[in-house]
Amino acid sequence: MKIFICGDSTAASYAPERAPLTGWGQVLGELLPQAQVVNKAMAGRSTKSYLSEGRLVEVEKELQGGDLLLIQFTHNDTSDLVWRHTDANTSFMNNLAIFVDTARLRGAVPVLLTPIPGRCWQDGVFQDSHGEYPEAIRRLAMLKNVPLVEVYHPAVEQLRAMGEEASRKLYMHVEAGVYADYPNGQKDDVHTQRAGAEFYARLVADGLRTLKLV
């Protein structure tokens, strides 16, 4: 079985020199050794730009019956840039449906994933992120009878339980002078380092097992 991943920078794979930046799709295969993970997630892409660049067409050429197509977008769909932005309840859902239908036409199994949350604490309280988009994904999963891996809700619960300081180690908070690619350090509450990638890949792997897809 092959597991294809279509998504954005939070799932993407990165070259060693970008360490400790690590997407969850980069480590998923370590948790699912029985499957071959083909990570087609690409940084900076929304459903709109991923489709317009023909990236799904390239994935479609490789899809075969029985493969899984994991579909996870949101971060760039919320962008104000016209070439990336989608509306949660219309174009975003319509675009996701294209991924779903493409997988099914190839005999593959589409799986929708809610996004990983942005790490946002305010006055000691973890804040929700992504607005209507996660719920739009859930709604599409129901409408089209698509398996859904819920990443967002359990992640938020666990991050709240971890607390503000402990959750920092999952994301790209890097001290200056430690990594060559980040000489001035980094404070990024969207992208993950290795520990965060493993955290989210585990949620995905567990979700796929619960659905009996792997």
Does this model's pTM top 0.85? My answer is yes
Domain ranges of the chain: 2-210
Residue 55 pLDDT: 98
DSSP letter string over 109-176? EEEEEPPPPP--EETTEEPP-STTHHHHHHHHHHHTT--EE--HHHHHHHHHHH-HHHHGGGEEEE-T
Would you write out the chain's pLDDT as a tens digit for each of its 214 residues? 999 999 999 999 999 999 999 999 999 999 999 999 999 999 999 999 999 999 999 999 999 999 999 999 999 999 999 999 999 999 999 999 999 999 999 999 999 999 999 999 988 899 888 999 999 999 999 999 999 999 999 999 999 999 999 999 999 999 999 999 999 999 999 999 999 999 999 999 999 999 999 9
Alpha carbon distance 167, 165 (integer Å):
6
Give residue for tokens 């607005």. Answer: 131
Residue 157 pLDDT: 96
Residue 115 pLDDT: 98
Q: Which of 129, 125, 95, 126 is closest to 115 using CA atoms? A: 129
The first and second tokens of residue 28, run together, are 């998923």
Residue 118 pLDDT: 94
Separation of first and last alpha carbons in the chain: 9
Architecture of domain 2-210: 3-Layer(aba) Sandwich (3.40)
Residue 39 pLDDT: 98
Residue 128 pLDDT: 87
